[in-house]
């Protein structure tokens, strides 16, 4: 499978080497993209007002030093639809799905001993967001860009059980980041993105979470009026 993918990419590059004379970001053009990569959890969200202790069968009543939710890394994939208003400025709508699981953790303190309890339950997230794209070198074959936008993140139905104290449901999520577009041909673009998402899990959490999208994919670019 990997060999077939490598041959496919080499063929695209070979075609691109002879056909990128007009490859550039064009005002009025549309880009349709697919992407895949990891969605990486960068921090934890702690419960608000969590009890100061708990009863454990082997230890009796013990103190709780820390409790909350820790996001894992999962596969993130989806589609993007973009419209370039000018060569420098574009807009983009994205839809994505993530398989990242979350861990509920509790750190108990029993004298000098610490006990870390973890519960991992499968969940998934859907992200919908709209962004502004700023192309830094739109007339180049390789185009770096910056992006920022707003959207929503929706957790699967089992999130209420998973997070125990609150159901995150659908939350507002801003994002920001950047990436690079490399024209393989006049119409085919190889694209990579780094994008941060920041969101809350609900009223019972005192921290917001930040996750990092590291993705790559292919885009097809065409002019709307042609």
Supply the pTM of this predicted model: 0.79
Confidence label for 17 from pLDDT (cuts 50, 70 and 90): very low
Domains in the chain, number: 1
**How high is the pLDDT of residue 142?**
95
For residue 140, the domain's CATH number is 2.40.160.20
31 domain-assigned = yes
* Whether the predicted pLDDT of 14 surpasses 60: no
Q: What is the CA radius of gyration of the chain?
A: 22
58-83: per-residue pLDDT in tens? 655 566 667 778 888 999 999 999 99
* Whether the predicted pLDDT of 118 surpasses 60: yes
86 domain-assigned = yes
33 domain-assigned = yes
**How high is the pLDDT of residue 170?**
84
165-192: per-residue pLDDT in tens? 566 778 899 999 999 999 999 999 999 9
Confidence label for 10 from pLDDT (cuts 50, 70 and 90): very low
DSSP string, 92-139: EEEEEEE---EEEEEEEEETTEEEEEEEEE---EEEEEEEEEEESSTT
Read off the tokens for 158. 């089992």
* Whether the predicted pLDDT of 6 surpasses 60: no
Query: How does the average pLDDT of the chain come out, rounded?
Result: 82
59 domain-assigned = no
202 domain-assigned = yes
How far is the C-alpha of 64 from the C-alpha of 51, rounded, in Å? 7
107 domain-assigned = no
133-149: per-residue pLDDT in tens? 999 999 999 999 999 99
* Whether the predicted pLDDT of 7 surpasses 60: no
Backbone φ and ψ for 59, nearest 5 degrees, come out as -120, -10
123 vs 212, residue with greater confidence: 212
Residue 169 lies in domain = 2-45+70-102+121-223
């Amino acid at each position: 499978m990997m060999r077939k993918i490598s041959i496919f990419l080499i063929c695209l590059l070979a075609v691109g080497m002879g056909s990128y004379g007009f490859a550039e970001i064009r005002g009025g053009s549309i880009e349709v993209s697919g992407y895949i990569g990891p969605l990486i959890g960068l921090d934890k969200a702690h419960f608000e007002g969590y009890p100061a202790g708990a009863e454990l069968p082997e230890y009796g009543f013990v103190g709780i030093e820390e409790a909350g939710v820790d996001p894992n890394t999962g596969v993130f994939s989806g589609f993007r639809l973009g419209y370039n208003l000018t060569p420098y400025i574009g807009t983009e709508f994205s839809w994505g799905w993530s398989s990242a699981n979350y861990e509920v953790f509790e750190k108990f303190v029993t004298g000098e001993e610490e006990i870390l309890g973890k519960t991992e339950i499968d969940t998934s997230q859907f992200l919908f967001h709209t962004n502004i794209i700023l192309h830094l070198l739109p007339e180049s074959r390789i185009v770096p860009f910056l992006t920022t936008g707003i959207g929503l993140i929706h957790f699967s139905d089992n999130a209420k059980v998973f997070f125990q104290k609150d159901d995150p449901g659908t939350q507002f999520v801003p994002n920001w980041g950047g990436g690079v577009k490399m024209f393989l041909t006049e119409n085919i673009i190889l694209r990579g993105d780094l994008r941060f998402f920041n969101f809350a899990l609900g009223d019972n959490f005192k921290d917001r979470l930040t996750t990092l999208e590291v993705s790559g994919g292919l885009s097809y670019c065409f002019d709307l009026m042609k």
